[in-house]
């Protein structure tokens, strides 16, 4: 079969249909399921992020294509189950965008910032009820009560989920009103983690206990809360520190290599000395220094 590249989305849909053809398709594509390609879908989203952060628009074009392919892949599998197809996906999102932007596609008088915010919340509430009604009609109604935090997907990366959970709780007043109070909470959680660690060592128990895991989780949650109160994305803050660590550790490695040494031959004290030198060599603005 000869198929040529095209800017037409229909060609991409046709390619995916051919790949999934049980008689003549690709064995790997045929055996995939919604669950099995989840890691690929997530990976492609991260690769889009990476291209943007590197400001590489050529790569961004390629990565957006890879991410689009994941959407088409899911839609093709749903079509095979007579659930929905790609057209239904497009219809759903275009309907949602038009509905959620009445200040653009509707009444010109709704352009005020506060009016837009109020309309957004009201429209989302309507959509939530409509979704519940639709799922009930399809026999997909979730058992049990719908709780306030149920709108936050449980499958989100943990750091992103923590931020969203905190923001959602804040809307009903469950929040500190001062970032300094969050620092106190971090100190409290750090002390509890220290006490748990000391207990595990005294009892010669494994450090990877459920108790230690819980304390570390509490500490991380509190640090994420501080980032939120400072209007800082914790993922971005951690990414910045990751890059700083790469740079400083690279300085250690290069310094050792310049003296005919390998990392494995250096002591911790030697590496710590070079680490401090790296900090002095590339000292950032005082406000951002750790």
Q: Are residues 28 and 94 in the same domain?
A: yes
Closest to 34 (Cα-Cα) out of 90, 98, 3, 79: 79
Q: Tell me if 105 is assigned to some domain.
A: yes
**How many whole angstroms separate alpha carbon 231 and alpha carbon 167?**
11
Could you tell me if residue 142 is inside a domain? no
Residues 26 and 74 placed together within one structural domain of the fold: yes
Q: Which of 229, 250, 275 is the last residue of a domain?
A: 229
**Alpha-helical regions (H) of the chain:** 9-19, 27-31, 38-53, 57-80, 86-100, 102-105, 113-137, 158-170, 179-202, 210-229, 234-258, 268-281
Query: How many C-beta neighbours within 10 Å does residue 162 have?
Result: 22
Pair 72, 86: CB distance under 8 Å: yes
- Residues 94 and 20 reside in one and the same domain: yes
What is the domain count for the chain? Answer: 3
| Cα–Cα separations (whole angstroms), residue 131 to 135, 153, 154, 168, 199 | 6, 15, 18, 20, 49
pLDDT recorded at residue 142:
62
Neighbours of 235 (CB within 10 A): 15
Among the candidates 103, 137, 171, a domain finishes at 137
Q: What is the pLDDT of residues 141-184, one digit of tens each?
A: 665 567 889 888 887 889 999 999 999 999 999 999 999 999 99
Phi, psi torsion values for 21, nearest 5 degrees: -60, 125
- Quick check: is 22 in a domain? yes
Q: Is the pLDDT of residue 263 over 60?
A: yes
- Is residue 276 scored above 50 in pLDDT? yes
CA of 88: how far to CAs of 20, 45, 91, 247, in Å?
19, 22, 5, 47
Instruction: Name the percent of the chain lying above pLDDT 90.
Output: 70
Identify the domain containing residue 68 by its residue range. Answer: 9-137
The answer as to whether 118 is a domain residue is yes
> Per-residue pLDDT averaged across 115-122, rounded?
71
- Model confidence at 250, pLDDT cuts 50, 70, 90, reads very high
121 and 239 part of one domain: no
| In a shared domain, residues 183 and 251 | no
| 74 and 181 belong to one structural domain | no
Provide the pLDDT for residue 46. 87
100 shares a domain with 56:
yes
pLDDT at 290: 47
Q: Are 101 and 15 contained in the same domain?
A: yes
Cα separation, 40 vs 181, in Å, equals 40
- Radius of gyration over alpha carbons of the chain, in Å? 26
Where does a domain end: 137, 172, 207? 137
52 and 163 in a single domain? The answer is: no
The answer to pTM > 0.75 is: no
| Residue 4 lies inside a defined structural domain of this protein | no
The answer to whether residues 213 and 251 belong to one domain is no
* Residue 146 domain-assigned (yes or no): no
d(CA 57, CA 180): 40
Rounded Cα–Cα distance for residues 284 and 279 (Å) = 8
Question: Is residue 73 situated within a structural domain?
Answer: yes
| 225 and 242 belong to one structural domain | no
Q: Which residues contact 115 (CB under 8 A, 6 or more apart)?
A: 103
Distance, in Å, from the CA atom of 89 to the CA atom of 70, rounded to the nearest integer, reads: 13
3-state secondary structure 116-174: HHHHHHHHHHHHHHHHHHHHHHCCCCCCCCCCHHHHCCCCCCHHHHHHHHHHHHHCCCC
Q: Based on the domain organization, do 32 and 55 belong to the same domain?
A: yes
* Interatomic CA distance for residues 166 and 174, integer angstroms: 8
Residue 29 covered by a domain = yes
Q: What is the CATH number of the domain that holds 187?
A: 1.10.287.1080
């Amino acid at each position: 079969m000869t198929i040529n590249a095209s800017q037409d989305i229909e060609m991409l849909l046709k390619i995916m249909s051919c790949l999934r053809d049980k008689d003549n398709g690709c064995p790997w594509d045929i055996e995939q399921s919604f669950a099995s390609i989840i890691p690929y879908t997530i990976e492609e989203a991260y690769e889009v992020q990476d291209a943007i952060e590197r400001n590489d628009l050529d790569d961004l074009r390629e990565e957006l294509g890879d991410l689009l392919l994941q959407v088409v892949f899911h839609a093709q599998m749903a079509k095979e189950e007579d659930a929905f197809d790609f057209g239904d996906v497009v219809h759903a999102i275009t309907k949602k965008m038009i509905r959620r932007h009445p200040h653009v596609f509707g009444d010109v008088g709704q352009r005020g910032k506060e009016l837009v915010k109020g309309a957004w919340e009201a429209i989302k509430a309507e959509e939530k009820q409509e979704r519940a009604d639709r799922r009930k009609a399809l026999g997909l109604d979730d058992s049990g009560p719908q709780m306030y935090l149920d709108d936050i997907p449980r499958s989100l990366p943990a750091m992103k989920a923590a931020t969203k959970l905190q923001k959602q709780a804040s809307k009903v007043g469950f929040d500190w009103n001062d970032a300094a109070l969050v620092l106190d909470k971090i100190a409290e959680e750090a002390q509890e983690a220290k006490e748990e660690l000391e207990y595990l060592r005294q009892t010669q128990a494994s450090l990877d206990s459920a108790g230690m895991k819980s304390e570390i989780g509490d500490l991380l949650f509190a640090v994420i809360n501080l980032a939120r109160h400072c209007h800082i994305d914790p993922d971005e803050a951690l990414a910045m520190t990751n890059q700083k660590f790469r740079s400083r550790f690279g300085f250690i490695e290069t310094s050792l290599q310049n003296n005919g040494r390998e990392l494995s031959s250096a002591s911790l004290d030697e590496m710590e000395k070079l680490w401090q030198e790296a900090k002095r060599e590339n000292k950032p603005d005082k406000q951002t220094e750790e």
